[in-house]
Amino acid sequence: MCTKEVRSSAEAPENSLATLATRKQFILASKGHRAFCKGLIVQAIPQHPIASKEIRVGFTCSKKVGNAVTRNRAKRRLREIARAILPGSGFAGWDYVLIGRAKTTVGSSFPELKADLRQALLTIHASAKA
């Protein structure tokens, strides 16, 4: 029997996720902080102005990742780990871009990708404070 976990409003993370929509936003994030992990690359930059409580996130995979089916699979995996990790570990008012890597984004297990994203966020936020 499959049970669906229901999250109450008290348990819901306070930060909401929004999607980066324009090329300009992706390019701006590429000029910010970077973290390289086995399964993905993360680019991040604080939004200007920082009046927003939301976290904006974008996803991209180049043709080096594989054909269209493989790239879409990689982006679906990135979207899912972002939904799981960013509301709790990301900073409100920041833009994040998650970039898929060839063979490893699709080939890594889901817990490994989550750990990679957590480590990348720690690296980015540590370098931002310095």
Q: Residue 3 falls within a domain, yes or no? A: no
Task: Count the domains in the chain.
Answer: 1
The pLDDT > 70 percentage for the chain reads 85
Reported confidence tier of residue 67, pLDDT bands at 50, 70, 90: very high
The pTM (predicted TM-score) of the whole model is: 0.84
Listed range (11-20, 21-30, 48-57) with the worst mean pLDDT: 11-20
* Domain CATH code at residue 33: 3.30.230.10
Domain range enclosing 48: 17-129
DSSP characters for the chain? --------TTTS-SPPEEE--SHHHHHHHHTSEEEE-SSEEEEEEE-SS-----EEEEEE--GGG-SHHHHHHHHHHHHHHHHHHHHHHSPTTEEEEEEE-TTHHHHS-HHHHHHHHHHHHHHHHHHHH-
Q: Residue 8 falls within a domain, yes or no? A: no
pLDDT at 8 over 60: no
